[in-house]
A = this chain, B = another copy of it.
Amino acid sequence: MSYGASLMAVAFVADPRGSWRVERQEAIVGEGLAVSTGIAVIEGAPGAGPAALPAAISEQGWRLTGMISHLRYTSGAERSALGAKSAPLGRVEALHAALLPIRKSPEWWALPQDERRAIYEEQSRHTSIGMEYLPRIARRLHHSRDLGEPFDFLTWFEFAPAHAAAFDELVGRLRASEEWAYVEREVDIRLVRES
């Protein structure tokens, strides 16, 4: 994956004809989302905003939109380490995916940058923990908060079936961290690529 600064809008849409089949779905914290049999991932043109995203094939129900954007907490050293270990999306063996929409609390967003960074990494080791699972678990983050969306982040993961247990371990460790005390809504959607 790229850790550059390119902007791209992405929508995740409840769509029975989407290319990812929903295997299971759970509301981890707060209100859930209506369950669809499938999810479509719609990527916009580079640099274009959310308003320019096209519709899905047979869109129905919810649509969550986010922007791939610059990193907010990662230091230069961390980014170099991530870049050396990361995997791209779309690997042929990565038949499993997870969409985890997350909203943090007003208390989180009221913290200044240095305190959010300290909780994120020095206390919760978010980047360090994630790095242990690279390149097995590919990840892409979409920022939604400034779009007035119901979630702040849409986190997307892709991995081979053999690494599903490792993914469960990863999310379990993050959910046990100090940072997750500030998560007030989280839905966990597990997906399998339609062949």
A147 to chain B, nearest CB (A): 5
Interface residues of A in 32-54 (CB under 8 A from B): 44, 47-52
Verify B74–A112 contact, CB threshold 8 A. yes
Whether, in the assembled complex, A88 has its beta carbon less than 8 Å from a beta carbon of chain B, the answer is no
**Interface size counted on chain A using CB atoms at 8 A:** 38
Within 8 A of B (CB), among A59-76: 67, 69-76
Taking the closest CB of chain B, its distance from the CB of A50, in whole angstroms, is 7
* Interchain Cβ contacts under 8 Å between A and B, 26 examples: A4-B110, A5-B108, A5-B109, A7-B145, A7-B146, A7-B148, A44-B148, A49-B147, A49-B149, A50-B147, A50-B148, A67-B146, A67-B147, A67-B148, A71-B113, A72-B72, A75-B114, A76-B111, A76-B114, A76-B115, A79-B112, A113-B117, A143-B146, A146-B146, A146-B147, A147-B147
